[in-house]
A = this chain, B = another copy of it.
Amino acid sequence: MSKRKVGVIGATGYTGIELIRLLFEHPDIRLDIITSRSQAGKKFSSLYPSFEGVFDDELQPVEAIKDVDLDLVFLALPHRVSMEFVRDYGLDRFRIIDLSGDFRLDSAESYKTWYKKDHVSAEFIDKAVYGLPELNRDLTRNADLVANPGCYPTTSILALAPLVKNNLIDPKSIIVDAKSGVTGAGSTPKNNTHFPNLFGNFYAYGLLEHRHTPEMEQVLGGLSDGGEVQVQFTPHLLPIDRGILATTYSKPIKDLNAELVRETFLSFYENEHFIRVVDQPPSVKNVRGSNFCDVYATWDPRTERVITIAALDNLVKGAAGQAIQNMNLMFRLIEKTGLDYPPLNP
C-alpha cells in the first residue's frame, strides 16, 4: 500500500512540533509539507534543534499547499485561524483534522457564547466530527473534518463517560478539578509562563469561564439519557512541562459500590488499547510521551460519591497523538499504528 500524504499546517507551535515527532515514527504516511506563517523558509530543525539529523525539512508558506497533493492536513493553528483556513480551502482537496477549538462546539451560538466572537465558517460546523475515538470511532472513519478534542475535555470525558453513559450519576453533580503542565499554555512566552513565576509554584486559573467547559458538557450530554450535563470545571497550572490529571467528583443516582464502579470502567474500556483502567491513582509520568490515558475510578461509601481520576500527556493523547489516532481511523489503518510504544518514565 502506498503511503498516505499528509501535511502539518502551523508546524511551529507545541502541537505542531509534537505532530512531527509522532508522524516521524509512523510507518504508513509521508509528511509532504509543513507550513508556518512566520518562519517559512527556515529549516524546521534550525528552530527546534532536537530534530536535527532526524527531520530537517523546510517550512513552507501555507499557500504552498496548493501545489501539493495531499490526503489529509493537520491544522495546528491558533483558534480562529483554523476556521479561516477551512473557509478558504474547504474539504474537497484533502480531509482535515483541526486541533484548535474552532469546530468542537456544535453550534455557532454556543461558539459565540464561550468564545465571545462570531464564527466565520459556521457552515462547516455540522460537517465536523468530534474526534474522541473511544466514543466516536465510526463517525470519525468517514469524516472529512475532524475536530480534535481539547486536552482538558479528553481527560475529563474519559474520566466520566462510563458513569454518564450508564446513567449512574446525577448529571448536574459533576465537578472536574484539573491540573495541567505548562505546554498546555502554548509556546509563546508570557508573564505567567516565565520560568521564575512558575518554578515551585501552583495555582488555579480560568475559574467559571474556561472554554473547555461547554465542550465537556456537550460531549457528555450526548452520552446521557438523563438530561443536560453540567460540569464545574477548575483548571490549575502544574510546574511541569507535560501532563494533565483530572480528578472528578459526582453523586450517584443509583446504589453503587466500589466494585460496581470499577467494573463499569473495566467493561466500558475493555477493548480500548489506549485507555488503561488502573487500580491505583494514576500519575502523569506514567503516560509521559505516550498516547495512553490512565483512568482510576472508586466509590466513597462514607460520602456516597464517585471519584475518578484520569491522567494523560496533554501533547499526545490530549492533542497530537489523538490526532494521529483519528488519522489512523480515517485512513482505515490499525488504530494504534505509530503510537504503540511505552511512556518515558523515569
Contacts and interface: CB of A to CB of B under 8 A. Distances in A.
Interface of A: 14, 17, 20-21, 24-25, 48-55, 172, 175, 177, 179, 181-183, 187-191, 193-205, 207-208, 230, 232, 234, 236, 238-243, 245, 247, 249, 273, 276, 278, 280-290, 292, 294, 298, 300, 302-303, 305, 307, 309, 311, 315, 340-346
B200 A243 contact: yes
Given A17-B346, A307-B207, A202 B189 contact: no
Interface centre among A196, A198, A201 (most CB of B within 10 A): A196
- Copies of chain A in the complex: 4
Contacts of A276: 52-53
A63 B282 CA distance: 34
Given A49-B286, A204-B309, A342 B175 contact: no
Contacts of A280: 49
Contacts of A20: 342
Contact of A284 (B202, B292, B300): B202
8 smallest CB-CB distances across A and B, nearest first, come from A203-B283, A201-B285, A189-B189, A50-B345, A177-B177, A196-B346, A50-B286, A50-B343
